[in-house]
């Protein structure tokens, strides 16, 4: 009997098939046993009717507990009432083979607290909501690569163990590298710039690490980032790449994951609006807008949180109220040089702001992309490294890139889990990672 995966079941109507999977739920009424079987691609109702099945199989069906593994065989038939099945199919069983009877499964259909679920993350992943998020995660990763691969970018990997800090020294995870201090990479960017000079348009995609000491809904200590880097590219040119790339990712999920977005009860109307071009405002304009919004704010607590002066970086509340003013993701450009990384190019005629742009997602999700035009002048970069108190000897190779064929170039990094949280409409970033790492969690 051919083993068929549930996602393909519609092509087998009227045929006898075998499904290998797990019991998601079971209800029984004497001579009828309803098994909700999942196989990783979906859930389908399988019906064991005492009159139509051998005695041994019927007894096996009755003995199944939640998450028991099974091999079931039966005929695919259309049934509009079958819950949760793709296109409304169910299987009339002719054989049930028990592979393992599951011990009492800790995650039952009742409500569980998030700590309990997080402790059982290795099992929680089987639940329908988590299944939907991880399926979308996989498509987001694929669609990111897809867009870059078809637009002339080459994927080059960058190291995780690195001697140099790139995104500030306060969030470094230090490791003892045979007696030498080294760090887990906060970004692949510096190596990306070297790769870019070899291949023109490149990207890296991998795990990055930040010792974020605060507990928020947006921060992980280990997250994935995709980082394109483009030679001979200004910040304005970069933003066009960013908006097309983002549109492709969002629209691909909308096209391919209607069912998953429904499970997540995601209102997709906001996502449908994510088409290039995106609005752009300067940091100066954003500050002015924030002052006005704070003026209008009636909740005293929120008013306090919205306090901001020119030169401050945005916090979550600022990004939230800013993005509420726009239907699409919005670019904020020209941040103060002092709040951004050392490698960003200061404006020629106004060095207190730099050629930087963050992309803020709507509905309060905030920064999903950070990007900039890099300093390409050797002496200016050296001065910036010194001004940030970074040890010049660790950046000699990076400075080389400004000695041998330097040119204006730009790049950005999009956080994978932030993007998933936004597209899936999650209340907390932890659900966007299969095994989230946060301030108070590094297991399972």
- Smallest CA-to-CA distance from 49 within 58, 36, 59 is with 58
Least distance (Å) from ligand 4AD to the CB of residue 241? Answer: 12
Name 252's Cβ contacts closer than 8 Å, sequence gap at least 6.
139, 140, 143, 146
Site string for ligand 4AD, 141-170 (x = CB under 6 A): -------------------------xx---
Residue 374 touches which member of ligand 4AD, Mg ion, none, C-beta under 5-8 Å by kind: none
Q: Cα(411)–Cα(416) distance, rounded to whole angstroms?
A: 16
The yes or no reply on residue 212 touching ligand 4AD (CB under 6 A) is: yes
Q: Which helix (H) or strand (E) holds 420?
A: helix 416-424
Interface with Mg ion includes 21 (CB under 5 A)? Answer: no
Residues 224-263, one symbol each (x = binds Mg ion by CB under 5 A, - = not), give ----------------------------------------
With CB under 6 A as the contact rule, the residue among 136, 225, 306, 423 that binds ligand 4AD is 225
Strand blocks (E) in 260-365: 280-282, 330-333, 356-361
Give dist(CA 243, CA 276) in Å, integer.
5
- Burial status of residue 437 (CB atoms within 10 A of its CB: 0-12, 13-18, 19 or more): middle
Decide if residue 371 touches Mg ion (CB under 5 A).
no
Smallest distance, Mg ion to C-beta of residue 425, A: 22
Q: Comparing C-alpha atoms, which of 124, 219, 137, 127 is closest to residue 441?
A: 219
219 binds ligand 4AD (CB under 6 A): yes
Q: Would you state the structure tokens that stand for residue 405, as one six-digit string?
A: 């064929």
Select from Mg ion, ligand 4AD, none the partner in contact with residue 147, using the beta carbon and a kind-dependent cut-off of 5 to 8 Å.
none
Q: In sequence order, what are the residues at sequence separation of 6 or more whose Cβ sits closer than 8 angstroms to the Cβ of residue 95? A: 53, 54, 57, 72, 73, 74
Shortest Å distance, C-beta 113 to ligand 4AD: 23
Residue with tokens 């409409």, as numbered in its chain: 425
- Does 370 participate in binding Mg ion (rule CB under 5 A)? yes
What is the smallest separation between the CB atom of 147 and ligand 4AD, expressed in angstroms? 16
Burial of residue 179, with CB atoms counted within 10 A of its CB: 0-12 exposed, 13-18 middle, 19 or more buried: exposed
The whole-angstrom separation of Cα 246 and Cα 143 is 10
Using CB under 6 A, which of 121, 135, 201, 418 touches ligand 4AD?
418
**Interface residue with ligand 4AD, options 164, 172, 220, 264 (CB under 6 A):** 220
Residue 329 site contact among Mg ion, ligand 4AD, none (CB < 5 to 8 Å, cut-off depends on kind): none
**Binds 187, which of ligand 4AD, Mg ion, none (CB < 5 to 8 A, cut-off by type)?**
ligand 4AD
The stretch among 88-96, 140-148, 219-227, 389-397 that binds ligand 4AD (CB under 6 A) is 219-227
Instruction: Name which of 167 and 243 has its Cβ closer to ligand 4AD.
Output: 167
The minimum distance between CB 167 and ligand 4AD, in angstroms, equals: 5
Residues in the chain: 444
Residue 60, preceding bond cis, omega within 30 degrees? no
How many residues at the interface with ligand 4AD, by CB under 6 A?
23
Strand-pairing partners, residue 18, are: 3, 73
274 binds, options ligand 4AD, Mg ion, none, Cβ within 5 to 8 A by partner type = none
329 binds ligand 4AD (CB under 6 A): no
**At residue 429, what are phi and psi to the nearest 5 degrees?**
-65, -20
Contact predicate 88/79, CB 8 Å: yes
Choose among Mg ion, ligand 4AD, none what residue 317 binds, the Cβ cut-off being 5 to 8 Å by kind: none
Q: Is 118 or 186 the residue whose CB approaches Mg ion more closely?
A: 186
Contact 44, 19 (CB under 8 A): yes
Query: Segment contacting ligand 4AD (CB under 6 A): 68-76, 194-202, 221-229, 247-255?
Result: 221-229
Q: Which helix (H) or strand (E) holds 255?
A: helix 235-256
Q: By CB under 5 A, is residue 366 in contact with Mg ion?
A: no
CB of 411: closest distance to ligand 4AD in angstroms? 5
Q: What is the CA radius of gyration of the chain?
A: 26
In whole angstroms, give the CA distance from residue 394 to residue 388: 13
**Part of the chain binding ligand 4AD (CB under 6 A), chosen from 104-112, 177-185, 242-250, 369-377:** 369-377
Q: Which two tokens stand for residue 129?
A: 């909501």
Contact 308, 287 (CB under 8 A): yes
- For Mg ion, give the closer residue by CB, 264 or 286: 286
Find out whether 155 and 203 touch, Cβ atoms under 8 Å: yes
In the complex, what is the shortest distance from the CB of residue 75 to ligand 4AD, in angstroms, rounded to a whole number? 48
Binders of ligand 4AD in range 396-415 (CB under 6 A):
411-413, 415
Exactly one of 19, 48, 369, 426 binds ligand 4AD (CB under 6 A); which one?
369
- 23/69 Cα distance (integer angstroms): 7
Contact positions vs ligand 4AD (CB under 6 A): 166-167, 187, 189, 210, 212, 219-220, 223, 225, 227, 367-372, 411-413, 415, 417-418
Contact positions vs Mg ion (CB under 5 A): 370
């Amino acid at each position: 009997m051919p083993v068929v995966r549930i996602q393909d079941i519609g092509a087998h109507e009227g045929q006898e098939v075998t499904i290998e999977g797990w019991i998601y739920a079971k209800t029984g009424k004497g001579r009828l046993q309803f098994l909700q079987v999942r196989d990783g691609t979906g859930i389908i109702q399988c019906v064991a009717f005492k009159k139509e099945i051998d005695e041994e199989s019927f007894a096996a069906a009755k003995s199944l507990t939640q998450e028991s593994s099974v091999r079931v065989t039966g005929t695919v038939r259309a049934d509009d009432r079958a819950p949760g099945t793709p296109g409304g199919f169910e299987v009339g069983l002719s054989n049930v083979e028990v592979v393992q009877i599951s011990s009492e499964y800790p995650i039952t259909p009742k409500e569980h607290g998030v700590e309990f679920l997080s402790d059982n993350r290795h099992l929680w992943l089987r639940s329908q909501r988590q299944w939907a998020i991880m399926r979308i995660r996989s498509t987001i990763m694929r669609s990111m690569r897809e867009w870059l691969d078809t637009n002339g970018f080459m994927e080059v990997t960058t190291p995780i163990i690195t001697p140099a800090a790139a995104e500030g020294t306060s969030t470094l995870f230090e490791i003892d590298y045979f007696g030498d201090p080294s760090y887990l990479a906060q970004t692949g960017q510096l190596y990306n710039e070297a790769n870019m000079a070899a291949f023109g348009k490149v990207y890296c995609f991998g795990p990055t690490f930040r010792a974020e000491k605060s507990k928020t809904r947006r921060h992980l200590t280990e997250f994935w980032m995709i980082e394109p880097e483009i030679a001979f590219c200004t910040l304005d040119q970069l933003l066009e790449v960013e908006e097309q790339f983002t549109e492709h990712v969002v629209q691909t999920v909308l096209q391919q994951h209607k069912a998953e977005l429904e499970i997540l009860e995601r209102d997709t109307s906001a996502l449908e609006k994510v088409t290039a071009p995106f609005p752009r405002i300067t940091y100066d304009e954003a500050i002015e807008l924030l002052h006005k919004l704070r003026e209008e704010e009636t909740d005293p607590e929120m008013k306090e949180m919205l306090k901001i002066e020119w030169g401050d970086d945005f916090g979550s509340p600022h990004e939230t109220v800013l993005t509420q003013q726009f239907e699409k993701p919005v670019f904020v450009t020209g941040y103060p040089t002092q709040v951004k990384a050392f490698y960003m190019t200061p404006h020629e005629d106004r060095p207190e702001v730099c050629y930087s742009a963050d992309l803020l997602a709507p509905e309060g999700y905030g920064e999903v992309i950070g990007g900039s035009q890099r300093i390409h002048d050797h002496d200016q970069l050296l001065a910036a490294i010194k001004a940030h108190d970074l040890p010049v000897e660790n950046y000699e190779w990076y400075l080389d890139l400004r000695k041998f064929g330097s040119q204006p170039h730009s790049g950005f990094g999009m956080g994978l889990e932030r993007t998933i949280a936004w597209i899936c409409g999650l209340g907390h970033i932890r659900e966007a990672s299969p095994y989230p790492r946060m301030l108070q969690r590094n297991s399972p």
